[in-house]
Chain A
Amino acid sequence: MIYNLPFLTVVALIAIGIYAIIFKRNLIKIAVGITILESGVNLFLITLGYREGGVAPIFTNLPPGISPDQIPEKMVLPVPQALTLTSIVIGVAVLALILSFTINIYRKYGTLDAGKIRRLKE
């Protein structure tokens, strides 16, 4: 059980993110919650792809102990890392869009409270 500590870390990150998204009213705090949730998802993908004692799947400058017979057993899985790379860049783009929307909302309504900006304003 204690050996599965990375999965518990993923659970903690996702729980903190969901908590911030559901129970916080400030839009900036909701954006921070979305980012934490996304970090949890990225950590989950990387954790799924880890293989015990593995090195990065790059053949340049391998550590001295790795011989061709030990490939692929001594390398971590490459596909989850590639998908995480995609996910990180998308996360940055989405976070920038969220923050610019937040700036726009603050300029129009003068507040960042999600409960107070519900009314329409001309």
Chain B
Amino acid sequence: MKNEEMNEGKMTVIVQTIAALLFPLALIFSFYVIMHGHLTPGGGFQGGAIGASAVVLLIVAYGVKHVEEKMTEGGFSVFESLGGLIFVVVAIFGLFLATSFLANFLVNEPIFGKIPGWGQAPLNSGGILPILNIAVGMKVIGGLSAVVLILALISREGEEK
């Protein structure tokens, strides 16, 4: 029994339960780091790496075969391309609504463009920076998860041969 489980790349039920508990928490922490990228240390890249590590946790605990049934690398690739598309579209909006490509056209505007004073940290500041953070976070989550999933699949296939 144990040997069969090891052959499929799974770990014991203790590790699987803990991983299932920690997966949503890791995703929430990743979303927190991405959303507060313009206020606290962190940002799109770091939060995206945390989110990808949540997927890696699932792969390690449940085995790549089980994870691949739920989420494919094609889905991650679409997610990543969506992030890149949001980035470029927001940048082109800056070209039309303001002066140049990637211009921060939302700063000093009513809702999102609040400028914090000394010691203040409002969430609705930063203009387009939170949107770009979300875009880059989606890109990094999708990209790193797809890479890890493909490499895990490849090494699993190599062992079976």
Touching in the complex, A and B, CB below 8 A? yes
Listed in ascending order, the chain A residues whose CB lies under 8 Å from chain B are: 56, 58-62, 68, 85, 88-89, 92-93, 96, 99-100, 103, 107
Bound Cα distance A92, B46 (Å): 12
A99 to B147, CA, bound (A): 11
Q: Do the beta carbons of B158 and A100 come within 8 Å of each other? A: no
- 22 A-B pairs (CB sep. < 8 Å): A56-B41, A58-B39, A58-B40, A59-B116, A59-B118, A59-B121, A60-B39, A60-B40, A60-B121, A61-B121, A62-B119, A68-B118, A88-B45, A89-B45, A89-B140, A96-B147, A99-B151, A100-B154, A103-B154, A103-B155, A103-B158, A107-B158
Which residues of chain A have C-beta atoms less than 8 A from B121's C-beta? 59-61
**Which 3 A-B residue pairings sit nearest by Cβ, starting from the closest?**
A60-B121, A96-B147, A60-B39
Residue of B nearest to A67 (CB): B118
Majority-rule SS of A interface residues: helix
A88 to B43, CA, bound (A): 14
Please tell me if the beta carbons of B41 and A85 are within 8 angstroms of each other in the complex: no
